[in-house]
């Protein structure tokens, strides 16, 4: 009896242990199935959080290793490029001069237009009281000459300017007021003297008055005044013979200097104004027949 009871008890205990073991295994499988590692459809917050995407940047341009001197082009910024500052304006003294009209040279001329056995007689500083006597002598010997007029004297003697033109002579610009030393004048001053004198002479001479030359007072030529003259259609005019008649050395001295220094194609400097020109007129009375005897023809300076 006791043995049968013991067997039943053992069988019951065994069943209980088996049931407990089965329950334990079942629970363990459920936990494993619900574990994050075992589930393919779930993840931990640290796994589901994606890193913040980097901001989109424009691609850098490809660089050319062989073009080391060329920096890569910067990507556009959406803003206009700042404009470059304008170059500084050069001072007035550095302002380039206007080009001379076609055919006008800025070099100083010292010879006649045709060369050969010719002479160009030129008279400075007029018109003046002696200009009429000079014109009378030139007409007597059939001579032609060039008169270098100041603007002030042209305005004071317009009828004489017109007579010079009417008798076949030519005109030259000799500044407004004959300032000296002319080479020391500023560009503004010399430009006024040259350009204004030209306008004054044209006004005195009337319509169609031509002025091919400019002569600097005292021969004070500079690159600046030569270029300014040429830019206004005036060829700078010098001379090859200067008897210094303005200093009144005497008629004989004036005549002797011209006869000694004149060469074919020469330009003679004389004066018909700016002081007492009695000696010049007296010397001209001797020089005109002498020139004819030497076979000289009268011409104008080269232009």
Q: Is residue 28 part of a domain?
A: no
Residue listed under structure tokens 């100041």? 150
Beta strand 213-214 with 170-173: parallel, antiparallel or unpaired?
Answer: parallel
Q: Is residue 40 part of a domain?
A: no
Is 84 in a helix, a strand, or coil? coil
- In tens, the pLDDT along 105-157 reads 999 999 999 999 999 999 999 999 999 999 999 999 999 999 999 999 999 99
Beta bridge partners of 237: 109
Q: Is residue 59 part of a domain?
A: no
Q: Is residue 188 part of a domain?
A: yes
3-state helix, strand, coil in the chain (%, to 5): 45, 10, 45
Q: Is residue 290 part of a domain?
A: yes
For 277-295, the DSSP string reads: -HHHHHHHHHHHHHHHHTT
Spans of the chain below 50 pLDDT: 1-6, 8-9, 11, 14, 18, 20-98
- Which phi and psi angles does 153 have, rounded to 5°? -70, -35
Q: Are 155 and 200 in contact (CB under 8 A)?
A: yes
Q: Is residue 177 part of a domain?
A: yes
Mean pLDDT of the chain, nearest integer: 79
Find the CATH number of the domain harbouring 170. Answer: 3.20.20.370
Domain extent for 222: 118-298
Q: ω into residue 237 within 30 of 0, thus cis?
A: no
- Total structural domains in the chain? 1
Active site residue 124: yes
**What is the model's pTM?**
0.68
Q: Is residue 38 part of a domain?
A: no
- Residue 34 confidence (pLDDT): 39
The residue annotated as part of the active site, out of 124, 245, 272, 299, is 124
The residue annotated as part of the active site, out of 169, 174, 178, 271, is 271
- Which residue in 110, 49, 145, 40 sits closest to 264, CA to CA? 110
Distance CA 178, CA 86 (A): 42
Please state, as a whole number, how many other Cβ atoms lie within 10 Å of the Cβ of residue 80. Answer: 6
Distance CA 57, CA 53 (A): 12
The full 3-state SS of 113-172, as one line of letters, equals CCCCCEEEEEEEEECCCCHHHHHHHHHHHCCCEEEEECHHHHHHCHHHHHHHHHCCCEEE
């Amino acid at each position: 009896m006791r043995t049968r009871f013991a067997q039943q008890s053992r069988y019951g205990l065994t069943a209980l242990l088996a049931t407990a073991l089965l329950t334990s295994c079942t629970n363990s499988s459920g936990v494993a199935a619900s574990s994050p590692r075992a589930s393919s459809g779930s993840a931990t917050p640290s796994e589901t959080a994606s890193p913040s995407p980097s901001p989109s940047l424009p691609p850098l341009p490809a660089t050319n290793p062989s073009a080391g001197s060329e920096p890569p082009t910067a990507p556009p910024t959406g803003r206009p490029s700042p404009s470059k500052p304008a170059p500084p304006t050069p001072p007035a003294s550095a302002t380039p001069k206007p080009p001379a009209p076609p055919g006008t040279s800025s070099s100083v001329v010292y010879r006649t237009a045709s060369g050969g056995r010719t002479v160009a007689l030129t008279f400075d500083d007029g018109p003046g009281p002696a200009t009429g006597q000079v014109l009378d002598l030139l007409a007597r010997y059939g001579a032609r000459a060039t008169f270098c007029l100041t603007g002030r004297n042209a305005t004071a003697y317009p009828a004489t300017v017109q007579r010079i033109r009417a008798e076949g002579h030519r005109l030259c610009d000799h500044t407004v007021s004959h300032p000296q030393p002319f080479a020391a004048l500023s560009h503004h001053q010399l430009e006024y003297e040259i350009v204004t004198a030209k306008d004054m002479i044209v006004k005195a001479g009337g319509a169609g008055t031509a002025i091919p030359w400019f002569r600097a007072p005292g021969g004070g030529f500079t690159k600046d005044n030569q270029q300014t003259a040429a830019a206004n259609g005036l060829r700078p005019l010098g001379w090859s013979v200067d008897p210094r008649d303005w200093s009144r050395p005497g008629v004989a001295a004036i005549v002797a200097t011209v006869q000694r220094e004149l060469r074919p194609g020469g330009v003679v400097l004389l004066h018909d104004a700016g002081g007492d020109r009695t000696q010049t007129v007296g010397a001209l009375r001797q020089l005109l027949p002498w020139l004819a005897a030497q076979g000289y023809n009268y011409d104008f300076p080269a232009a």
